């Protein structure tokens, strides 16, 4: 059977394309440096928040709930001669359904083929089994890694963080350990400085104005899902998927966007819509504001809710929602 071409292939292909372009254009590349760096860690430690803070733009949705990030998201940071292609990954957890299997495979495959990793942990907490597994993966792949201890703004006892740093240092020889707060920006300049040290000569991998590989239709759907995660309680938002069915810019500069919210149960559909449509209206208003901020123009957003029973365990539906089928088998 022919082996599927996964993310390591994409990285190699991107480097070959870069080298070809430089050869054709005869551009000097010796002063430009680049790196692919995967952002990994357990759920809800602030991986996406760190990526958004580094880029200065919201390319990955965030919420207080675990499993907010479901797919691998690339964000590109470029400053002067240095460029870093960051891969924001789902939090590493035990898979409980087909969607969970995809998320686990997405994390582990991201570590294969990158130049380095950024492990994010919450400041003051003990080493999690997920972090243990990731550090072992770094060792197997021979990857350098930087450790970011996030949420220092919430840490009152700094001695816990010193003990934490010592514990991680005994497990893996990190290139650097940087306490940060993605919320207020503390330590972020130091983190970027340490990460750019991992860049290698050979030219940038993407045009300097590249921000993300996320299609606009996917970004729009993710902004809707973020609001559902923030506004809905308990298990309901984890059984929700959002797909952009229509996106078109009108002659007046207005963007027309239609998104469908899929849920697994009829009872959940009623909760998402709310009394008199109040909840759905609130989701739409908040998502539209973020879309207008990102796209830089007015947005007209339409939302519908449909039921797809047990979609998280149905590969055919997961495929139509944009999840890569080759990543389902662990």
Is the pLDDT at 12 greater than 60, yes or no?
no
What 2-5 contacts at long range (C-beta under 8 Å, 24+ apart), as own/partner pairs, is: 4/326
- Mean pLDDT of all residues in 86-101: 61
Interval 262-303: pLDDT, tens: 998 898 999 999 999 999 999 999 999 999 998 899 999 999
- The domains of the chain are located at 7-201, 216-327
Residue 48 pLDDT > 50, yes or no?
Answer: yes
Q: How many whole angstroms separate alpha carbon 294 and alpha carbon 296?
A: 6
Q: Which of 228, 240, 239 is nearest to 280 (CA)?
A: 228
Pairing outcome for strands 240-249 and 255-263: antiparallel
The pTM assigned to this predicted structure is 0.75
Instruction: Please tell me the distance from the alpha carbon of residue 42 to that of residue 130, in angstroms, as a whole number.
Output: 6
What integer is the mean pLDDT of 33-43?
Answer: 90
pLDDT of the residue at 182 = 95
CATH of 7-201, one of 3.30.1300.10, 3.40.50.300, 3.30.70.890, 3.40.50.920: 3.40.50.300
Give me the CATH code for the 216-327 domain, please.
Answer: 3.30.300.20
Q: Report percent pLDDT > 90 for the chain.
A: 49
pLDDT tens-digit readout, 156-200: 888 899 999 999 999 999 999 999 999 999 999 999 999 999 999
CA distances from 177 to 101, 120, 162, 190, 203 (A): 30, 10, 11, 10, 27
pLDDT for 175 equals: 97
Q: What would the pLDDT profile of 235-258 be if each residue is shown by its tens digit?
A: 576 788 899 999 999 878 899 999
Pairing of strands 116-122, 33-40: parallel
């Amino acid at each position: 059977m022919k082996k599927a071409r996964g993310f390591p292939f994409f990285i190699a292909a991107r480097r070959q394309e870069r080298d070809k372009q430089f050869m054709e254009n005869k551009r000097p590349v010796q002063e430009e440096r680049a790196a692919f760096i995967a952002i990994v860690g357990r759920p809800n430690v602030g991986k996406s928040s760190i990526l958004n803070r580094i880029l200065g733009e919201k390319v990955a949705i965030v919420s207080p709930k675990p499993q907010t990030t479901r797919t691998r998201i690339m964000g590109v940071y470029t400053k002067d001669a240095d460029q870093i292609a960051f891969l924001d990954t789902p939090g590493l957890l035990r898979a409980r359904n087909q969607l969970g299997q995809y998320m686990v495979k997405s994390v582990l495959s991201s570590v294969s083929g990158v130049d380095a990793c950024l492990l994010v942990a919450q400041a003051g907490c003990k080493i999690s089994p997920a972090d243990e597994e990731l550090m072992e993966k770094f060792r197997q792949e021979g990857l350098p890694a930087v450790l970011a201890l996030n949420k220092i703004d919430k840490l009152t006892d700094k001695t816990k963080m010193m003990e934490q740093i010592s514990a991680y240092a005994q497990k893996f020889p990190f290139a650097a350990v940087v306490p940060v707060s993605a919320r207020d920006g503390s330590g972020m300049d130091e983190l970027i400085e340490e990460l750019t040290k991992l860049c290698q000569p050979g030219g940038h991998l993407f045009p300097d104005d590249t921000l993300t590989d996320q299609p606009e239709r996917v970004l729009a759907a993710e902004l809707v899902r973020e609001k559902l995660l923030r506004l809905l309680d308990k298990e309901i938002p984890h059984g929700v998927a959002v797909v952009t069915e229509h996106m078109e810019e009108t002659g007046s500069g207005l963007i027309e966007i239609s998104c469908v919210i899929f849920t697994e149960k009829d009872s959940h559909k009623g909760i998402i819509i709310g009394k008199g449509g109040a909840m759905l209206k609130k989701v739409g208003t908040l998502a539209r504001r973020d879309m207008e901020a990102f796209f830089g123009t007015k947005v007209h957003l339409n939302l519908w809710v449909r039921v797809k029973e047990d979609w998280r365990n149905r590969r055919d539906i997961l495929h139509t929602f944009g999840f890569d089928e080759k990543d389902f088998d662990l």
